[in-house]
Amino acid sequence: MALMLIKFDLKKRVKLAQTVWFMYWFAVMAGVLVFSMGLFFKIELRKRSEFMDNNESHFLPNLLILMGLITCVTNAFGGKICYDSLDPSKFAKWKPMLKNFLVSCMCFNSLLLMTALLCFLMRIPLQFTLTEGLKNGMRYYKDTDTPGRCYMKRTLDLMQIEFRCCGNDNYRDWFEFQWVSNRYLDFSSKEVKDRIGSNVDGQYLMDAVPFSCCNPSSPRPCIQYQMTNNSAHYSYDHHTEDLNVWKRGCRDALLSYYGSMMNTIGALVVLVTILEVAVIIGLQYIHSSLSTLANPEDPESESEGWILEKTVKETFTDIMAKMKAMGKGSKVEEGGEAVVATVS
């Protein structure tokens, strides 16, 4: 018993072919959208690649770009088949390869679904790569005279201003790094000597943050130096007062930004996968309905179309039997080769 059997006449077949043709070209546009989103995601990652601890974060956007291109090509080819199905003489050349094409489309849909799953799961590795990348960025913030790192201060400042964040986890992370270059320190000053000598790494550490951490919406002038010294500022208590620097860490801000982007792309890929399944079903109906014409010489004769020629259980059993037969065949070939080798 065929799965979801439907009877077709010429009018229904023409309408089906036209509908599926339209869906295929809509799927081509969806492929362009997936390609564009992958390209946009790659550009956004490259903008802040200094804060990425590895290059593996670019795997997903590259995969999206590839999936988008394959989607466009596959659906354009499927649309051509649908168009030719209106003319039996043109459709005849596609019949031998149609079954293989449908199987390859099903495999591709599985890859699309895996790509969508990766979009939802990439937040976890991205969190770790941002943690290490931001730490390195803060460590090199002061190296404005070092080739290859001279841009880090500007990049980190612009990022903190854009995302309204400060530090890795919070503003206190800046207390653990020397972020002022040695060229701007007076080493003859006792205060500088004491600060450098107060830690084993010989760094000039202070309870202060860069200007880019300041919240311009605060009515009070920004307190970015001696932030834990209440006596250094009038009417100030760093334990209770609402600080006028950004409290949110940049890792959380970037993770939220990229996370929402990945969730949106993942949902889009899921919708594209559903559309792909729909066009495969439509093409299968076209293929089966044209293969079962009551009178192949009469295009107006009735026919039957289905998703599967047998039930799901029977189809699964047939597939398993074929796989076992292929396995036995390969074993027989290996055994034959072994016998030949022994004889020789």
Would you state the pLDDT for residue 282? Answer: 87
Would you state the pLDDT for residue 170? Answer: 92
Would you state the pLDDT for residue 329? Answer: 61
3-state secondary structure of 245: strand
pLDDT digits (tens, 9 = 90+) for 34-76: 999 999 999 998 888 888 866 667 889 999 999 999 999 999 9
**In the predicted model, is pLDDT for residue 340 greater than 60?**
no
Two structure tokens written together for 63:
């995969």
Alpha-carbon span 38 to 67, nearest angstrom:
9
Contact 232, 208 (CB under 8 A): no
300 HSE (CA, 13 A, CB side)? 0
**In the predicted model, is pLDDT for residue 327 greater than 70?**
no
Residue linked to tokens 């404005």: 144
- Single pTM value for the model: 0.81
**In the predicted model, is pLDDT for residue 296 greater than 70?**
no
Q: Residue 214 pairs with which residues in a beta bridge? A: 245
**In the predicted model, is pLDDT for residue 266 greater than 70?**
yes
Residue 7 per-residue DSSP state: E
pLDDT digits (tens, 9 = 90+) for 89-118: 787 788 888 888 988 999 999 999 999 999
Arithmetic mean of pLDDT over the chain? 84
**In the predicted model, is pLDDT for residue 338 greater than 60?**
no
| pLDDT cut 90: percent of the chain above it | 40
